[in-house]
Structure 1
Amino acid sequence: MTKILIVEDEAGIAKFLRQGLEEEGYVTDWAADGSEGLRLAKSGSFNLILLDWMLPKLNGMALCSKVRETDKSTPIIFLTAKDTLQETIAGLKAGGNDYIKKPFSFEELLERIKVQLRNPVQTPNDLQLGHILMKIATHQVFNGDNEVFLTQKEFALLEYLIKNKGTVCNRNSIIEDVWNIHFEYDTGVIDVFINSLRKKLNLKKEQDYIRTIRGIGYIADDIPQ
């Protein structure tokens, strides 16, 4: 039984979503404001959350951030009329996994839900990139002796680059494999997250293990160039 929480203040949209999802075999629950959505989300009983951006009492961004304080894994898809690059980045940094603009086709939403519900392959092995150590099991990152605190998506991006160390990762592949988005998407969000990673990892020019391949993407390497 797959349970989906819908946090949406427009009753008509919520009814449409619930009906369509339940016809597909999902079990749904609905919250009409952010406070109630947070209460239900923190119950931990949902496999995925559909989250409106503009909500009464507690907006979607704040709700997402609060959920991510204790829940790093439940997929969250934003449903919103906002669609600028800056807003997309803000939603992803808050912990969102995907972002779909209103109005949207139910078929597209359904495919995005299916993508997010696929279980990622887990590995217990630690990963190394130069002086950077990733402890997958405990979700920790260290630069030498200093622990670095990354968001869920920053962690996933760094993990992906290290697992593909020595190979150029193009932007479209990163969007598909890290964000699980197989639709047309503004890959500019990746550049923002890479810059954030470099700052948090304190990667100076002479110790930058993540190189930009202009016009293509990025490559992680133990030897800075």
Structure 2
Amino acid sequence: MIQLTNVCKDYETAGGRRRILNNINLTIRPGERVGILGRNGAGKSTLVRLISGAEPPTSGTIERFMSVSWPLAFSGGFHGTLTGADNLRFICRIYGADFESRLQFVQEFSELGSYLYEPVSTYSSGMRARLAFAVSMTIDFDCYLIDEVMAVGDERFRERCRVELFEKRADRAMLIVSHSHRYLKGTCHRFLLFRDGEIEEHDDFEEVYFRYKESIGEAFENKEQMVAEMQ
């Protein structure tokens, strides 16, 4: 289980201190898939970083009683002067994982070919995302943090990502940020809507999507109109 209690996050800006998350209380249980919606800048990715431990909250507590991944497809932790393979070697050392068996998986899954042995600084953004996702799948976690990961690569690669993550790890908890309503509706059990630094929780996707469209100024006249768009 992951438990957030009265979590706040502030950032210093040119206009002064800005509160992005305000008194967030949230529980993620084993095996749950929680989807997150909200306009850009609402705090979705900030929440993912806090839960991963990449950033601390300004106040409040985050308790983790299960292992938590870094944000999937996040490539900011790679060392640019090291090759993709050497970055993988470093991560395997941190987690006490066997390098050779995981190198074979990353070679096959990322389809980077010889670029796996070139410095990551020479990669395109798409190549870095492929490497990041493949490396993420080499370490087992109880909870996976997913921030628009399925936008990586072409349709064939996205399907391979879907099978690797949602079928082979169907028993794991997941926190999923996405702007794709079809993706969230077909994947998640619970839904969080970020508005004004706070979250609204819903079990019904149509309700949360209706309120999400209101929050970004694209309100439907009625739910029937919304359902027609979603089909």
Q: TM-score, normalised by structure 1?
A: 0.31
Q: Which has the higher strand share?
A: 2
Q: Which has the higher contact order (CA 8 A, sep 6+)?
A: 2
TM-score, structure 2 length as denominator? 0.30
